[in-house]
């Protein structure tokens, strides 16, 4: 497989660009939550709402990663996430999402890791053995081309 690691500025650009997709998704999900559960949860509503939005974002990311290996922002920035074993399964995609969340909650260590990594990998991607490729330079194997 012929791959080229994308520059870190494109990886981080894609990360920032994700907000353009997530904000409308969160707004719609928030409207639905408030419409149905405005007074139902009482004092725990804020925590439950945050968990709900985290889950909604997880559904978006894991669906995109398992379907094509790319989110909308990754398509724009010509990036793709792959594993040595092929495409990500739903279980592996959720594992990546959870690890990324934990890295973010620990002061963004997962994203700071990419600054010191030669392959520009986030810590959660290095742990899980996933990597970004620049799809402009990606040459799929003959078996992958036959499946298309």
Number of domains into which the chain is organized: 1
Residue 83 counted as domain residue: yes
Q: What value does the mean pLDDT of the chain take? A: 86
Separation CA 69–CA 80 (nearest Å): 5
pLDDT of residue 4: 65
According to the model, what pLDDT value does residue 142 have? Answer: 42
Quote the CA–CA distance of 57 and 44 in Å, as a whole number: 20
Pick 19 or 46 by higher pLDDT: 19
At 117, give phi and psi (nearest 5°): -90, 130
Buried b / exposed e over 92-131, threshold 16 CB at 10 Å, is: bbbbbbebbeebeeeeeebbebbeeeeebbbbbbeebebb
Q: Please check whether residue 69 lies inside any domain of the structure.
A: yes
List of residues 6+ apart from 140 with CB closer than 8 A: 1
Q: Is residue 1 part of a domain?
A: no
Asked whether the predicted pLDDT for residue 139 surpasses 70, the reply is no
The answer as to whether 2 is a domain residue is: no
Task: Assign 95 a pLDDT band (cuts: 50, 70, 90).
Answer: very high
**pLDDT value at position 41?**
67
The phi and psi torsions of 131 (rounded to 5 degrees) equal -155, 155
- Residue 75 CB partners (closer than 8 Å, separation 6+): 68
Does a structural domain hold residue 3? no
| Selected residue with higher pLDDT from 83 and 62 | 62
The answer to whether the pTM exceeds 0.75 is yes
- What's residue 19's pLDDT? 93
Top mean pLDDT of 34-38, 40-44, 102-106, 111-115 is at 102-106
- Domain residues for the domain of 12 are 8-147
27 occurs within a structural domain: yes
> Looking at the DSSP assignment, which residues form a beta bridge with residue 81?
132
Are the beta carbons of 6 and 137 closer than 8 angstroms? Answer: no
Is 93 inside a domain boundary? yes
The pLDDT value recorded for residue 3 is 58
């Amino acid at each position: 497989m012929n791959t080229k690691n994308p520059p870190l500025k494109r990886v981080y650009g894609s990360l920032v660009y994700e907000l353009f997709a997530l904000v409308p998704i969160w707004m719609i999900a928030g409207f639905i939550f408030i419409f149905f559960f405005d007074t139902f949860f009482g004092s725990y509503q804020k925590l439950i709402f945050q968990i709900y939005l985290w889950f909604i974002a997880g559904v978006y990311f894991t669906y995109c990663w398992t379907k094509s290996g790319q989110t909308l922002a990754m398509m724009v920035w010509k990036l793709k996430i792959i594993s040595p074993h092929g495409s990500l399964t739903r279980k592996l995609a959720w594992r990546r999402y959870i690890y990324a969340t934990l890295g973010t909650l620990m002061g963004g260590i997962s994203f700071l890791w990419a600054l010191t990594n030669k392959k520009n990998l986030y810590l959660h991607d290095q742990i899980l053995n996933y990597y970004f490729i620049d799809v402009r330079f990606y040459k799929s194997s003959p078996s992958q081309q036959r499946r298309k």
